[in-house]
Homo-oligomer: A and B are copies of this chain.
Amino acid sequence: MKILITGGGGMIGRKLVERLAREGSLNGRTIGQVTLHDVVEPAVPADAPFAVTTVVGDISAPGAADALVENRPDVIFHLAAIVSGEAEEEFDKGYRVNLMGTLNLLEAARSAGNVPRIVFTSSIAAYGAPFPEPIPDDYILQPLTSYGTQKVCGELLLADYTRKGFVDGIGIRLPSICIRPGKPNKAASGFFSGILREPLAGHEAICPVDDTVRHWMASPQAATGFLVHAAEIDGAAVGPRRTLAMPGLCVTIREMLDGLRRIAGDRVADRVKFEPDPFIRTIVAGWPENFAPDRALALGFRADPDFETIVRLHIDEELGGKIAD
């Protein structure tokens, strides 16, 4: 089996290829070759039991998508995207990569002719306030950002190309990923990971919203689980609505910090300081908090069991099991 991962150098892409390297197979078939594509050289997992090819380039460049599918991959994980903050600041770049890049990839896959399974990562940014509580699977997608707009267009294109038999697409609307490893960034949602990752690494962290704020989250490990399950699932069982809201945990800041305290103790949890930021609070108030992802649950997608698990997974996988004093 041949696999293509666009955005293979990103956080989710890295976790996915590491998992594929550990497992060696997908949907019961041995993986022979994986192509990792990104705008910067993607990391190649050590000891992968399959050949790994890396390709550096822009998916929206002329011919780029065609070159990527030239070897007719059986499964394409299309993760490449300009993230929400950048798509909002750089309007043209966001549309070029997120909309035209996705369209180019679908066209290239159609031309290749082997009807690959394409797993497309959409996002809860596909939704825009106001929201019912919880948000059902048939709630309208009316995004309030360019990124969300591009993701919903991608979902719609994926469904139509699938309906026409050109590709076999499954889209997954990912929750916010928490705990996101790496450095703090300026994303408005960054604090959801920061208030856990930084204290666990021995640093103070600022929480800019009240502890009653709720959000919809999944661990990076749950997200890679969604990707693998979306690659393996029977497309006929999904029906014509090809993109599914993924399950997640709806937790408050208070519940997150209680989870951190139970796992890592008072010394770590007390490193979080509350400094309300009205600007961030206003942004966050427009985000969806809670879903009823009945379709995805019925199709076997599974969220993290609880927030402590999310904290433990981060400690084990990113900190080698060791919490900073």
Q: How many copies does the complex hold?
A: 2
- Whether A140 touches B140, Cβ cut-off 8 Å, given contacts A156-B152, A160-B149, is yes
Residue A274 CB within 8 A of the other chain: no
Across the interface, name the chain B residue whose C-beta is closest to A156: B149
Among B142, B157, B160, contact of A159 (Cβ-Cβ < 8 Å): B142
Whether A160 lies near B140 (C-beta < 8 A) is no
Please name all residues of chain B whose beta carbon is closer than 8 Å to the beta carbon of A140 when the two chains form the complex.
137-141, 241
State the CA gap A149–B152 with chains docked (Å).
11
Within A108-138, the residues touching B (CB, 8 Å) are 128, 132, 137-138
Whether A240 lies near B160 (C-beta < 8 A) is no
Whether A91 lies near B157 (C-beta < 8 A) is no
Q: Closest approach, in angstroms, between the C-beta of A220 and any C-beta of chain B?
A: 28
Among B128, B153, B163, contact of A153 (Cβ-Cβ < 8 Å): B153
Whether A153 lies near B157 (C-beta < 8 A) is yes
Whether B138 lies near A139 (C-beta < 8 A) is yes
Q: Closest approach, in angstroms, between the C-beta of A7 and any C-beta of chain B?
A: 22
Across the interface, name the chain B residue whose C-beta is closest to A128: B240
Interface mask (A36-56 → B, CB under 8 Å = 1, otherwise 0): 000000000000000000000
Please name all residues of chain B whose beta carbon is closer than 8 Å to the beta carbon of A187 when the two chains form the complex.
none
Excluding A138-B139, A140-B241, 15 further A-B contacts by CB distance (< 8 Å) are: A128-B241, A132-B138, A137-B140, A139-B140, A140-B140, A140-B141, A142-B241, A143-B156, A144-B163, A146-B164, A149-B156, A149-B157, A152-B156, A153-B153, A153-B156
Q: A residues bordering B, Cβ < 8 Å?
A: 91, 128, 132, 137-144, 146, 149, 152-153, 156-157, 159-160, 163-164, 240-241
Can you list the 7 inter-chain pairs with the closest CB atoms, starting with the nearest?
A149-B160, A138-B140, A153-B153, A142-B241, A149-B156, A140-B140, A146-B160
